[in-house]
Amino acid sequence: MTEYSLAPLAGYTDLPFRRVCRRFGLKVAYTPLIDSGALVYGNKDNPQILARGEDEPWLAVQVLGSRLEDLRKSGQILNQMDFDAVDFNMGCPVRKVLKRCAGAELTRHLDKALDCVKVLREVVTKPFTVKTRILDEVDPEPTVAFCHALEACGVEAIAIHGRLPERIYAGPVAFHVIRAVREALRIPVTANGGIFTLEDARQLQEGTGCERLMVARGALGNPWLFKTLNEQSLYTPSHEEICEVVETQVRDMVRLYGNPGGLVVSRKTILGYLCKWRYPKPLRVKVSSISTWNEFHAFMQEVRASEKRQ
């Protein structure tokens, strides 16, 4: 049976979002990525990034970084926290991350990447996994060789985004590269990249041969995607259901981030739903001005009075 997981997305896959996704069938999830230095030196945002619900099933924490001592200390800290696994990020293509030789930049410095993995593997007592990207979109061999090296370091599972770092999220996913890795390794391989619909997931699975598929941006504004994938049948939420889920997620975000901070943080979440379900542009424009509960409630009254475009 195919396993569908929710990828770690900075600024999005927090506890409130995971909760609504779990309502619709999500089982395997990750925290947003957390910087190893921020973890070691106590960034003020850490509690929100690392928050786990008492009702949550399997949850891994994803750590980012390239400074070996920070990674060592962060691994020791994470050992003491309530997570089912620790995942190391080598896939983030954001420029500020790349400049620090972290995230996907490590796929261009393979010796350094393996040093980071070895340090974490030495100290992490939980299951330890890696999320990375392909190294070449034509020739599978470099990616296969690198993943073999990760396996030799003691990594217990690998998730691969089938695009090069410079592609970010654009262009075709290199199914054949992920398939070659899956066929070459003994450890589980998860395929990631481009799942927005049921057909996307079927193509990724058929193209890679992977039984584990990872959903990322396709779930933003659409937690019902997990219901569609699990039931292998398109599910379209009603207007009323969309409104209820938006209100539930925003309410949980305010609990997590405080008031008014939670309302400000929730703007991109609200906009994600409105764009995904094609609500009128005048409503979408108003999202950027929401700062108080009264403004949010008034806005939702307008949304409820409207109808999404078909």
Q: 201 and 91 share a domain?
A: yes
- List Cβ neighbours of 290 (8 Å cut-off, separation of 6 or more): 263, 264, 266, 267, 270, 296, 299
Mean pLDDT of 127-152: 98
Co-location of 250 and 205 in the same domain: no
What length does the chain have? 310
In this structure, the answer to whether residues 287 and 190 fall within a common structural domain is: no
Confidence check: pLDDT of 310 > 60: no
Same domain for 299 and 252, yes or no, is yes
Q: Are the C-beta atoms of 25 and 234 separated by less than 8 Å? A: no
The arithmetic mean of pLDDT across residues 154-160, rounded, is 98
The CA distance from 177 to 186, in Å, is 16
Q: Are 220 and 97 in the same domain?
A: yes
Each residue of 15-40: pLDDT tens digit?
999 999 999 999 999 999 999 999 99
Tell me what pLDDT residue 32 has. 96
The sign one gets for the Cα dihedral 275, 279, 282, 283 is: negative
* Mean predicted confidence (pLDDT) in 248-259: 96
Query: Are 184 and 97 members of one domain?
Result: yes
**Cα 101–62–211 angle (5° rounding)?**
110
Whether 180 maps to a domain, the answer reads: yes
pLDDT value for 1: 86
Decide if 310 is inside a domain: no
- Checking if the pLDDT of 127 tops 80, the result is yes
Are residues 209 and 285 both part of a single domain? Answer: no
Average pLDDT for the chain: 95
Q: Which of 42, 57, 41, 51 is nearest to 15 (CA)?
A: 51
Query: What is the rounded average pLDDT of the residues 96-123?
Result: 95
pLDDT of residue 309: 64
Q: Measured between alpha carbons, how far is 62 from 13 in angstroms, rounded to an integer?
A: 11
Does 226 share its domain with 245? no
Phi/psi at 215 (nearest 5 deg)? -100, 135
pTM check: above 0.75: yes
Q: What is the mean pLDDT of residues 85-91?
A: 97
* Mean pLDDT on 160-181: 94
Domain assignment of residue 36, yes or no: yes
- What pLDDT score was predicted for residue 60? 98
pLDDT at 273 over 90: yes
Considering the domain architecture, whether residues 173 and 301 belong to the same structural domain is answered as no
Question: Based on the domain organization, do 186 and 42 belong to the same domain?
Answer: yes
Q: How far apart are CA 268 and CA 176, in angstroms?
A: 34
What confidence score (pLDDT) does residue 166 get?
Answer: 86
Question: What is the rounded distance in angstroms from the CA atom of residue 193 to the CA atom of residue 87?
Answer: 18
Q: Residue 257 falls within a domain, yes or no?
A: yes
Q: Does residue 293 form part of some domain?
A: yes
Mean pLDDT of 235-260: 96
Where does a domain end: 231, 248, 270? 231
CATH number of the domain bearing residue 24: 3.20.20.70
Q: What is the pLDDT of residue 294?
A: 94
- The model's pLDDT over 188-223, given as tens digits with 9 standing for 90+, comes to 999 999 999 999 999 999 999 999 999 999 999 999
Residue 177 scores a pLDDT above 60: yes
Tell whether 129 and 274 lie within a shared domain. no
Residue 210 belongs to what domain range? 3-231
Assigned domain for 105 exists: yes
Task: Look at the chain and report how many structural domains it folds into.
Answer: 2
At which of 181, 201, 231 does a domain end? 231
Q: Which residues of 160-184 are buried (b: 16+ CB within 10 A; e: fewer)?
A: bbbbbbebeeeeebbbbbbbbbbeb
Q: What is the pLDDT of residues 166-175, one digit of tens each?
A: 888 889 999 9
